[in-house]
Amino acid sequence: MGKIATCDHFRMGDYLVLGAAGAAPFVATEVGATGATHLAAVGGVYNLNLDATNEAQILCLSMGDVLRYDIDDLIRIEFIAGITSASLTGITAVIGLGSARNDTADTVAANAWFRFQGSFAALMETDDGTTDTDDKATGQTLVTAVLRRFAIDFSVETQTVSPPGTSKKGKANVHFYMDDANGYLKRVGQAQLFDMNAYTSGLQFLAQIQKASGTTLGTLHIKDVKVEHKLVA
């Protein structure tokens, strides 16, 4: 039997309810946050809300560590997301694909995601357990409360990359995209090779925002999520 391409399209307002409980296949995780509502779906957007309490807070939306997308069957993930905050000082956020969730994002064994570390500048990262490519600049910066389109592509045909001057394709040459001022997706990070060739297991959608302390408010917004992948016909 062969495989066909399909797309899982998650409209976040349809799949999630207010509060900490999600709706399959999503699971919301709250660590250290107390008091106000930190997880809420409003107007078709799912919000992970850090509050002003001076404490460590971690908020995550994942697929409950069910790694449903075999990296060798992944084609592309696309999502709409944004961040609202007066300042991201002391705040870290990641959104994309990962293996089993961890309170420390850098400890997630395998990942391909966008990262925001103390600022609105968008960074790119991949890790396959062997090659860890961290904190690479996209050249793009978010505006608070403005949603943007993002994509991560695992279906690149064979092409020569320099460095290392060899032919790479698929998960050995992951491409990242963000939209421009006109809403068109454009590739970012062309000068950097993102190689996940050593990873052979599954990944899940994962979005996480956190702070170690401080009173800065921060909300990670997640709208549509589309995952293109292959499955047995």
**Res 20: pLDDT:** 47
> What is the rounded average pLDDT of the residues 223-232?
94
Mean pLDDT, the chain, rounded, equals: 91
Res. 19 pLDDT band, cuts 50 70 90 = very low
Taking the C-alpha atoms of residue 226 and residue 8, their distance in angstroms, rounded to an integer, is 6
- The percent of residues above 90 in pLDDT, for the chain, comes to 76
pTM of the model: 0.93
What CATH number matches the domain at 3-149+199-232, 3.40.225.10, 3.20.20.60, 2.60.120.200, 3.90.1300.10? 2.60.120.200
**pLDDT digits 0-9 by tens, 20-68:** 455 678 888 889 876 667 888 888 899 999 999 999 999 999 999 999 9
Res. 16 pLDDT band, cuts 50 70 90 = low
Q: How many CB atoms lie within 10 A of CB 29?
A: 18
Which residue, among 67, 41, 212, 221, has the nearest Cα to 147 in the 3D structure?
A: 221
**pLDDT digits 0-9 by tens, 153-185:** 999 977 666 666 677 889 999 999 999 988 899
**Res 163: pLDDT:** 63
> What is the rounded average pLDDT of the residues 114-128?
98
**pLDDT digits 0-9 by tens, 73-106:** 999 999 999 999 999 999 999 999 999 999 999 9
Q: Please, what is the end-to-end C-alpha distance for the chain in angstroms?
A: 6
Cα separation values, 178 from 44, 75, 139, 152, 184, Å: 21, 17, 10, 9, 8
